[in-house]
Structure 1
């Protein structure tokens, strides 16, 4: 299955779930403490996949009922002494890069003078499709004090102006201020910071920062698109900070999100890429697992080369171009 076809199929999965009254991101298990171990990551680099690739793997894991959130290429599995089981189907992921070697996803604002980025594809398998891998490690839990301390530092370092006393959390683009109820109005400190980081995500969209379209009125499609970006960003921050994510406001956007997913299936991945830029902009510290030790270097596979991309360990543009030209073209997924 090609990447575009998979995106279309995954969009339909989300549409069907939303029709059932499920939250827009039902595969994120909001409020579940195990979410802290739920970020798809590459065990050979220890780093989480990002942007659209993260969402692609979230949904693939949900559809295929995978409990393990480790994903790696055929060659990477071989390199750590493991082997993909015969007949298993891979998931196509993509990597976008400018000709000068800059990762497109990490470019906060694409300037007119930048050359058109190029898209490369590579395939990964879930750890449950692979034999010989050790059990997945568990991410250490943080204390309430550590969580609050990290949240406070993130907000402080952002420089955002926070005004307390509001009836509800909101960001006002014209005044460029975040309005928040007093912390004691929230049941827990985690709840307060979960709401604040959501508004901080909107705050990054100001024209002086990441310059997203914040002109839409509540109830409009453009407002719903921005909300999708902010919700994805606040979930990522909630996982990394250990404070969780509350999707209770999703009901107000379900109708628009179904329409967007139907008309533009790729937007969920575009929104995820924008969410990653938000997290990078505010300086969110990302957790990385200890990489698995390599047993031996992977060798060329008969019939082509399996592109050994890590989550963030990307080779040069020249190496990428050669590998992509030579990789096998048959990619499939059972949905």
Structure 2
């Protein structure tokens, strides 16, 4: 009889392997071409989270994948793509909740059903491991929140010019100007604000 697959051991092994490979270089709060890798999503556009995000980060870094899109073998086929022969997939976990009262729910001593969680393992492949995958359409950028907008307006109004669109963040004293990457280069808007605040403090008012 084939032994049952140990989901936890598999995921743990993947994380340990990434740790043993080294932490790598410190990353700036903004990213260049590697930004999608830091925000792994399914081919349907659903963003991976929790331990799955960590596992997919580690795998993408170890294998040198430039894409942040992942899907199962069947999902790639459905989308018209084909996983290349010999490619090795990555295990991710899906937690499913069995609601109270469900026939499959655990029954307690009082005879009432109690909700339980079941972990299921799926093997996914990165877009760089398949042929025929189409580029996903670009999504609209979420509007900036009021608090973030107010913070940016304050920092941009302290008396120094700010130019966006560069690959790095820095202040040039000879031009008296702060240069910043675009908003989409940051994982979070708060990273954008903190980076801009840091550069503005370099200005000799």
Give the TM-score range, shorter chain.
0.5 to 0.7
Q: What is the CA distance between 1:9 and its match in structure 2?
A: 4.0
* Alignment correspondent of 1:17: 22
* Alignment correspondent of 2:74: 75
* 1:37-96: CA deviation from partner (whole Å, max 9, x where unpaired): 3311112x2222122111111110010001111111111111112211121111111011
* Alignment correspondent of 2:117: 117
In structure 1, list runs of 5 or more residues that go unmatched. Answer: 102-112, 157-181, 191-237, 248-335
* Alignment correspondent of 1:91: 90
Alignment counterpart, residue 152 of structure 1, candidates 142, 146, 149: 146
Q: In 2, Cα distance between the equivalents of 1:79 and 1:14?
A: 34
- The correspondence of residues 295-334 of structure 1 with structure 2, limited to 5 A, is none
Q: What is the CA distance between 1:126 and its match in structure 2?
A: 0.7
RMSD: 4.3
Structure with a larger share of its residues in strand: 2
Q: In 1, Cα distance between the equivalents of 2:192 and 2:32?
A: 8
Q: Are the aligned partners of 2:42 and 2:70 in contact in 1 as well (CA < 8 Å)? A: yes
Three-state SS of the structure 1 residue aligned to 2:19 is helix
Alignment counterpart, residue 8 of structure 1, candidates 13, 16, 19: 13
TM (normalized to structure 2)?
Answer: 0.56
Q: 1:83 to 1:33 in 2, by over 3 A?
A: closer
- The correspondence of residues 229-244 of structure 1 with structure 2, limited to 5 A, is 238-241=186-189, 243-244=191-192
Higher relative contact order (CA 8 A, sep 6+): 1
Bigger Cα displacement from structure 2, 59-68 vs 8-17: 8-17
Q: In 1, Cα distance between the equivalents of 2:118 and 2:51?
A: 15
Q: In 1, Cα distance between the equivalents of 2:12 and 2:61?
A: 14
Query: Larger C-alpha radius of gyration, 1 or 2?
Result: 2
Q: What is the CA distance between 1:139 and its match in structure 2?
A: 5.5
- The correspondence of residues 11-90 of structure 1 with structure 2, limited to 5 A, is 11-14=16-19, 16-18=21-23, 22-23=25-26, 30-34=29-33, 36-38=35-37, 39-43=39-43, 45-90=44-89
Q: Which runs of 4+ in 1 moved over 6 A?
A: none
In structure 2, list runs of 5 or more residues that go unmatched. Answer: 101-112, 165-185, 196-205
Three-state SS of the structure 2 residue aligned to 1:117 is strand
Q: What is the CA distance between 1:137 and its match in structure 2?
A: 4.7
Three-state SS of the structure 1 residue aligned to 2:66 is coil
Q: Are the aligned partners of 1:36 and 1:240 in contact in 2 as well (CA < 8 Å)? A: no
Q: 1:79 to 1:60 in 2, by over 3 A?
A: same
